[in-house]
Amino acid sequence: MSSKAIPVYLFLGFLEGGKTKFIQETISNKRFGIDENILLVICEEGIEEYDISRFDGKSIRLRTIEDKSELDEQLLLKLSDECDADKIMIEYNGMWHLTDLLLNKPESWKIFKTVFIADASTFQIYLQNFGSLVIDKVNVSDVVIFNRYAKRADVNELHKIIRSINRRSEIYYEADNGMMIVDDIEDPLPFDIEAPTIVIKDTDYAIWYSDIMNDAKKYNGKTVKFKAIISSRPELPNNVFAVGRYIMICCEADMKFCWFVSLYNQYYNVQSEKWVTVTADITVQHHETENIDIPLLRIVDLYECEPPERAIASFL
């Protein structure tokens, strides 16, 4: 049983969105996977099938997973050990949540690149009907590619949707001739990150939360002031609170409480949720197991206040 770290290329999207074609073109690239064993795990089979003849003699092993119950650590490890995989590519099922994979993948499988691929003409339909599944995948993607793109598509709207979920991903549009067009729309933050105290307006909480969760390191050592709900939770120790707001991304069904672990070195009685204005110092901790940075708040000042005009934060 090998313990070597294996880079995993994760391809996300929905049925008939173009994942198979993109993966095939990636493997067919002469510079990709030379003299390496590649394991291709297929979790979703669409109309288009892989043409093995196009892989130019490369060592490719295809394995199909038909049910998410098969996303078992020992089974997955066996798949990579059988072919002594140097690289793993996963065409993931769009209707499965990512946690089904991330919580069960072998420790030696290290996510190297995550790409979300979507049909530009149907993307917003999926967002309307399967919002949580779209957000689940776009949120972790390093690259977002809209294929079957035509000039009539509203690039600004697609850009706005992606940026409302993930502010760090690269965005591309595949034109009719196959050329990749880079999304170069600027996204200036609506607050001054270099200010001695970063003041977050009520209307900007969702943008700030998305930005700090996607790029926490740049906030390390910063001080922030914002209005939020403070509450206690049974899993948190004394003087540690959940501070955050409810955010709605596309509809009420996708509304959730987005909060920070917040330490307050003073006695504060929270028997029910309260609206407060908080000033806090930010520190960032890196979790090696999940390879993510987590922002933590140390409250230096708070006072109770009235709720904002719009209690539910959003990106609109």
Q: Which domains are assigned to the chain? A: 6-182 (3.40.50.300), 198-314 (2.40.50.140)
Mean pLDDT of 24-41: 91
The answer, yes or no, to whether residue 2 has pLDDT greater than 60, is no
Indicate the length of the chain as a whole number: 316
- pLDDT per residue as tens digits for the range 203-236: 999 999 989 998 999 999 999 999 999 999 999 9
Mean pLDDT of 94-110: 94
Q: How high is the pLDDT of residue 242?
A: 97
Is 278 in contact with 299 (CB distance < 8 Å)? yes
Cα–Cα–Cα angle for 111, 113, 116, rounded to 5 degrees: 115
The structure tokens listed for 76 are 């997955």
- pLDDT per residue as tens digits for the range 285-296: 988 766 789 999
Q: How far is CA 34 from the centre of its chain?
A: 30
Q: How high is the pLDDT of residue 42?
A: 96
> How far, in Å, CA of 161 to CA of 293, rounded?
23
The predicted model scores a pTM of 0.76
The answer, yes or no, to whether residue 254 has pLDDT greater than 70, is no
Q: How high is the pLDDT of residue 175?
A: 80
The structure tokens listed for 137 are 């995948």
Q: How high is the pLDDT of residue 252?
A: 61
Q: How high is the pLDDT of residue 249?
A: 64
The answer, yes or no, to whether residue 151 has pLDDT greater than 80, is no
Q: How high is the pLDDT of residue 278?
A: 98
